[in-house]
Amino acid sequence: MISFGIGIQMDLVKYSISFGISSLQNLTEGIGNNAFGYYSLQKLTKGTYNNAFGASALNSVTTGSFNTAIGRDAMVNNVSGNHNVGIGQDALKSNVVTSFYIIFICLPEL
pLDDT of residue 47: 95
pLDDT tens for the chain, residues 1 to 110: 555 544 455 677 888 999 999 999 999 999 999 999 999 999 999 999 999 999 999 999 999 999 999 999 999 999 988 999 999 999 888 877 767 667 777 666 65
Percent of the chain as helix, strand, coil, to the nearest 5: 0, 30, 70
pLDDT of residue 103: 72
Q: Supply the pTM of this predicted model.
A: 0.85
User: Residue 100: exposed, middle, or buried by beta-carbon count in 10 A (0-12, 13-18, 19+)?
Assistant: exposed
**Over 56-93, what HEC string results?**
CCCCCCCCCCCCEEECCCCCCCCCCCCCEEEECCCCCC
